[in-house]
A and B are shown apart, each in its own frame.
Chain A
Amino acid sequence: MNNDIIEKIEKAGLVGRGGGGYSTAKKWREVAKAAGNKKYVIVNASEGETGLFKDIHILTNYPDMVLKGVILALDCLRAKDAFFNLNKRYYRLLRLKLEPLINEYNDKGYNIKIFVEEPSYIGGEETALLNAIEGKRTEPRSKPPYPSIAGLYAKPTLINNVETLYNVARVAEGAYDKKRFYCLSGKLKNKGVHHLPDDWSVEKILKETGNYPGFEFFVQIGGGASGTVCDQGQIKDRLATGAGAIEVFEKKKTDPRKLILRWLEFYQEESCGKCTPCRAGTYQLYEMVKANHEIPWPEMFEILETMEATSFCALGRSVIEPIRSYYSNVLKKA
């Protein structure tokens, strides 16, 4: 086991950039320590949430770095087998770039394969992704066991986001500068991906990128579906957590019902269907808001809170987050 790289990663303080924010060194160590004659590395390039487009940015511009990260992980685990869990839309855009690079490594004895994923929100969930690669329904698995102990084909499996592996390669080169990729969208002048220090506040990011709006606004931070909504006055010390998305909304021109419907439409489409609260809850929420001119807040929260408390996976549990934070931070109803 090459502990060197794990120590470097730990020192650099890398955390998962898929949205979970789990310590990368810890994750690597768990897989490294796990018993098993075969281990897998998986690059998670599912990026199925709205408002996120940094993985495609990184894979387009720095595919070599991401692959370098993969190789570092494989070598560290003394493994040869890796999968790119690649969103089908991305596959079309990237295959000409990625495949030659992958072949180069495969010629050296690695076995890296691209798994073309039907684009979906749940497809990014680690255990659902494992099921998909194994040819099963794209649904989350019960945890434990965690993928680091029993993942793909029940073997210890390291699943890292594209950006995380990019950062690993930077760390190995001694070039990691504590930056992350932010996805800026909404009513902005300079939309797109910005690579900036990871300790900048949302306000600073908006200002430094020349994006700070001249109108009254609020933002959704983390991801376009699950992200927390903050009012203009709440972003001074607020980091862009999760997967690093920032979407800006003009307050006056945003119809709350329409915004909520946008979120719910996404969720009721993307729920994998496995568990009751998420499968039926997202559907009932969407129908409920669609059928009413006024937002039926109490009835909505009844379902949302049930989903938060009892959904099978984190996706169902987080549906409440944008709506609740929008309700209390922006509409100031709490």
Chain B
Amino acid sequence: MNQVIVSINGKQYPAPFGESLLKTAMDNGIEIPHFCYHEDLPIGSSCRTCLVEDVKTGRVVTSCSIKAEDGVAILTDTPKVKELRLKNLELLLAGHQKNCPRCKKGLFCRAADEFGKYGVSTVKYWRPEIQEKLHLMSQAALIDPQLCISCNKCVEICDKIGVGFLKMEGKNIQTHATWSRDKETDCIYCGQCTLHCPVGSAREQNQMEDVEKALADKNKIVIAQMAPSVHASIGEEFGLPIGTDMTGRAYTAFRKLGFNHVFDVNMGADITTIVEAAELVERIKENKDLPMFTSCCPAWVKFMEFYHPEMLNHLTSSRSPQIHSGAAYKTWWAEKKGIDPRKIVVVSFMPCTSKKYEARHEKLKIDGMWPVDYVLTTREFGALLKKYKIDLPNLESSEVEEPGTYSGAAVIYGASGGVMESALRTAYFDLTGKELDKLEFEKVRGIEGIKRTEVEINGRTIKVAVVSTAANAEKIIQEIKNNKSAYDYIEVMACPGGCIGGGGQPIPTTLAIVEKRTESLYKTDAKMKLRQAHLNPVVRDFFDNYIAKLSPAARKKILNTSYSRKKKFE
């Protein structure tokens, strides 16, 4: 790309031609407040807080809408800029308050930062009352119109994901984000709106207090399990470089929070891989219900159940990692330890909001128990640690307990393509009885929305695709409708880049950040000795000494699930 030189506060900076000067400034550590700018989304220039002075004209303009070209010069802190910026910040945040209960919980809201940083006070202004009620998206997320600042980001990301559930409504001060009343449009709970909302108007449904209550209950045995994407992203909540592997320190943090046991969702991922790979092998052998789709992303499953119920037979019947491991603790592990499973409380730490929704599926209950009791997002995890003043970056590392043993194949579940790669490593073994010479499937890695490749196993060519976002999934579905044998196996994740870019991840999340986090996952996998799910000794023990002894029906209850057409809000 063409590089140009721009001037910010009298200093010269290189920038790609046409880049938003707000981004140039931020990338060079120059702070400019902003609420409606996100580098992956359209520039709306509506919040009017990223004001700077254009040196050439002397006019105050929005930096987001200035494009980098030679000779462009801006000043970010002139008296005029400061005055206008403060006024717009105050007008923008009039619906927020300095000591908001949510801010006190330590959950993300940029308003909280700006109140302090820029001396914003909204006490002299009227708090607008939006004529619309708070809306819950199942158990996953919610949209609170009172806090909406009309930045439009949730609407744009919802469109980009391919759902179009959110939209802006009303005019004047009543303008706010709302949900589609169209019967044919429903939320899939991916939570990308919560990831792109600058002020917590769209946010996860918080379960921090439930978890604290469980931790305080002496009669409960509380287990923490963390998804691979959280390993690679929780450091960002503490200002660490993107992609810092926090696995060992997070385990210590769980212990400091008072969890009785520290396991890992990754162990569940190894179970999932084995169940799913076996099903894939069977379907390929019988040439039945191909292509098979992955189903570990509940947002993707909801998308299928609502938008494409005619294709539900293509979803793997395998349950998802957190549900597999959660059930394993409450059955196999409880039995082994002689513990009453009803005392066990499983808390998942996920990069995701739709996992909160999944955890409340009645159909997943085992003997009346939820496999997973609570799900906290990466952001809630960060807030919880801060609340208890646990300084994560400076903790010593510790190890996961034995039942949390996992393979590198589980680690890469966090990245788009990871589930596919893990399943192929195991399916290859299932079909050939041999291990792959080379475990890496580079063609299914990376953050592109659609990746395709072919894999030769035992003389049969297996055509695979890896997809992220519902918009791309829809393209693949249309492709399949035109050509039934286009693919054999397809991985779909609702969020861009997979779980590592999930709706529960730290804010900000951009595609560039997702790429860096992804690298971290593959690096971890490459360093591991155990890299295939089927070689995980703990998982083997679970299958050989517990599952194998169950009746087929009981097995199915723990390992498999089913799907059904969903109505709006179901």
Is the pair A273, B84 in contact by a Cβ cutoff of 8 Å? no
In the assembled complex, B174 has its CB within 8 A of some CB on chain A: yes
**Of B43, B48, B88, B172, which one neighbours A271 at CB under 8 angstroms?**
B172
Cα A268 to Cα B126 with chains together (Å): 13
Cα A249 to Cα B62 with chains together (Å): 39
Give, as a whole number of angstroms, the nearest-CB distance from A225 to chain B.
14
**What is the interface size of chain B, counting residues whose CB is below 8 A from a CB of the partner?**
30
Given A310-B60, A312-B45, residue A271 in contact with residue B84 (CB < 8 A): no
**Of A276, A284, A287, A302, which one neighbours B48 at CB under 8 angstroms?**
A276
Given A271-B171, A283-B126, A310-B60, residue A276 in contact with residue B45 (CB < 8 A): no
Cα A281 to Cα B128 with chains together (Å): 11
Give, as a whole number of angstroms, the nearest-CB distance from B74 to chain A.
15
Given A280-B92, A310-B48, A312-B46, residue A120 in contact with residue B126 (CB < 8 A): no
Interface membership of chain B positions 106-149, coded 1 if the CB is closer than 8 angstroms to chain A and 0 otherwise: 00000000000000000011101000000000000000000001
In the assembled complex, B518 has its CB within 8 A of some CB on chain A: no
In the assembled complex, A274 has its CB within 8 A of some CB on chain B: yes
Is the pair B126, A274 in contact by a Cβ cutoff of 8 Å? no
In the assembled complex, A243 has its CB within 8 A of some CB on chain B: no
In the assembled complex, B87 has its CB within 8 A of some CB on chain A: yes
Report B19-48 residues with CB < 8 Å from chain A CB: 43-48
Is the pair A311, B171 in contact by a Cβ cutoff of 8 Å? no
In the assembled complex, B334 has its CB within 8 A of some CB on chain A: no
Q: Which residues of A contact B94 (CB under 8 A)?
A: 280, 284
Is the pair B45, A309 in contact by a Cβ cutoff of 8 Å? no
In the assembled complex, A160 has its CB within 8 A of some CB on chain B: no
In the assembled complex, A151 has its CB within 8 A of some CB on chain B: no
In the assembled complex, B168 has its CB within 8 A of some CB on chain A: yes
Q: Which residues of B contact A302 (CB under 8 A)?
A: 87
Cα A142 to Cα B65 with chains together (Å): 9
Given A142-B43, A312-B45, A312-B48, residue A274 in contact with residue B173 (CB < 8 A): no
Q: Which residues of B contact A312 (CB under 8 A)?
A: 45-46, 48
**What is the interface size of chain A, counting residues whose CB is below 8 A from a CB of the partner?**
31
Cα A288 to Cα B45 with chains together (Å): 26
Q: Which residues of A contact B62 (CB under 8 A)?
A: 310
Is the pair B48, A277 in contact by a Cβ cutoff of 8 Å? yes
Q: Which residue of B lies closest to A283 (CB)?
A: B173
**Of A269, A283, A309, A310, which one neighbours B128 at CB under 8 angstroms?**
A283
Is the pair A279, B175 in contact by a Cβ cutoff of 8 Å? yes
Q: Which residues of B contact A277 (CB under 8 A)?
A: 48, 87-88, 91
Give, as a whole number of angstroms, the nearest-CB distance from A300 to chain B.
12
Cα A280 to Cα B128 with chains together (Å): 9
Q: Which residue of A lies closest to B51 (CB)?
A: A310
Is the pair A311, B172 in contact by a Cβ cutoff of 8 Å? no
Is the pair A273, B87 in contact by a Cβ cutoff of 8 Å? no
In the assembled complex, A111 has its CB within 8 A of some CB on chain B: no
Q: Which residue of B lies closest to A280 (CB)?
A: B91
Closest 5 interchain pairs by CB? A273-B175, A280-B91, A283-B173, A306-B87, A287-B126
Instruction: Give residues in A with beta carbon < 8 Å to B.
Output: 120, 122, 137-138, 142, 268-277, 279-284, 287-288, 299, 302-303, 306, 309-312
Identify 5 new A-B residue pairs, CB closer than 8 A, beyond the known A271-B172, A274-B175, A283-B128: A273-B171, A274-B46, A279-B150, A280-B94, A287-B126
Can you name 16 A-B residue pairings with CB atoms under 8 Å? A138-B171, A142-B45, A142-B65, A272-B171, A272-B175, A273-B172, A273-B173, A273-B174, A279-B150, A279-B172, A280-B128, A283-B126, A303-B87, A309-B60, A310-B84, A312-B48
